């Protein structure tokens, strides 16, 4: 197999993705560098690899999707807010792509997934990529991960029906949480914790798979 040819194509298509992210308004160079560093095509089925860098979400089986590049970059840009991230929690590992991008910009990443085969595959993929600052957990993420809290950032990759007050308690002071909220109509929310309490900001409309309870 001529892998160098594939490599060339993905370098070029990756650069095109970064240009598009800039056009779409992503400004954080650290986030753009992280998006460039992670080979997104390795996180989708081979049959879909040629579309991996398009600005679309793609199926990863079990009725789940890998989020489109723009929303991954946007959420991490908001989470970072220009700062170095310490320990971050992601709820909804899926294929592991967003966790891999987070691992480029955070000291430590914890990621939780409730679907066993997705968890297994993501864990294997992330191990093969030697991303040693990611811990993947097979668990319902609705209650967060109290034993690893507090977090500098929490990011949710599935839409919660409401703002989940229990989860935000796992933010440290100065921490930020970015999550989609809603059922039919969803919006991205930013929650910031300071010494006095929490501040909520509603951002743009989004479309995510629902947050579900329990493990399967």
Q: Which residues bind ligand SAH (CB under 6 A)?
A: 64-67, 91-92, 94-95, 97-98, 112-115, 118, 140-142, 157-158, 209, 211-213
Q: Which is nearer to ligand SAH, 10 or 98 (CB)?
A: 98
By beta-carbon proximity to ligand SAH, the closer residue of 92 and 153 is: 92
- Provide the token pair at 204: 């743009």
Smallest distance, ligand SAH to C-beta of residue 196, A: 29
Q: What's the Rg (C-alpha) of the chain?
A: 16
Q: Does the annotation mark 50 as catalytic?
A: no
Closer residue to ligand SAH in complex, CB, 4/105: 105
How far is Cα 104 from Cα 54, in angstroms, rounded to an integer? 21
Residue 189: enclosing H or E segment and its boundaries? strand 186-194
Q: Considering the candidates 10, 57, 67, 111, report the single residue annotated as catalytic.
A: 67
**Comparison of 121 and 193: residue with beta carbon closer to ligand SAH:** 121
Return the structure tokens found at 169: 């308690």
List the one residue out of 72, 46, 74 whose CA is nearest residue 57. 72
Provide the 10 A C-beta neighbour count for residue 213. Answer: 10
Q: How many CB atoms lie within 10 A of CB 19?
A: 11
Q: How many CA atoms lie within 13 A of 83 on its CB side?
A: 12
Least distance (Å) between residue 165 CB and ligand SAH: 16
| In the complex, least distance from residue 43 CB atom to ligand SAH, rounded to whole angstroms | 7
- CB 62, min distance to ligand SAH, A: 7
- Residues marked as catalytic: 67
């Amino acid at each position: 197999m001529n892998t160098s040819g594939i490599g060339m194509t993905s370098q070029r298509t990756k650069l095109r993705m970064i240009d598009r992210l800039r056009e779409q308004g992503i400004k954080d160079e650290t986030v753009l560098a992280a998006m460039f560093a992670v080979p997104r095509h390795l996180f989708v089925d081979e049959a879909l690899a040629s579309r991996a860098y398009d600005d679309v979400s793609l199926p990863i089986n079990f009725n789940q999707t890998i989020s489109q590049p723009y929303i991954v970059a946007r959420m991490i840009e908001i989470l970072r807010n220009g700062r170095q991230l310490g320990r971050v929690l992601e709820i909804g590992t899926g294929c592991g792509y967003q966790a891999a991008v987070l691992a480029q910009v955070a000291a430590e990443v914890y990621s939780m997934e409730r679907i066993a085969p997705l968890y297994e595959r993501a864990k294997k993929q992330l191990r093969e990529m030697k991303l040693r600052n990611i811990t993947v957990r097979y668990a319902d993420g609705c209650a967060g991960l109290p034993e690893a809290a507090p977090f500098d950032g929490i990011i949710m990759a599935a839409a919660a029906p409401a703002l989940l007050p229990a989860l935000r308690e796992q933010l440290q002071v100065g921490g930020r949480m970015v999550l989609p909220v809603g059922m039919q109509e969803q919006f991205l929310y930013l929650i910031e914790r300071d010494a006095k309490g929490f501040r909520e900001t509603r951002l743009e409309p989004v479309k995510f798979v629902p947050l579900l309870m329990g493990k399967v």
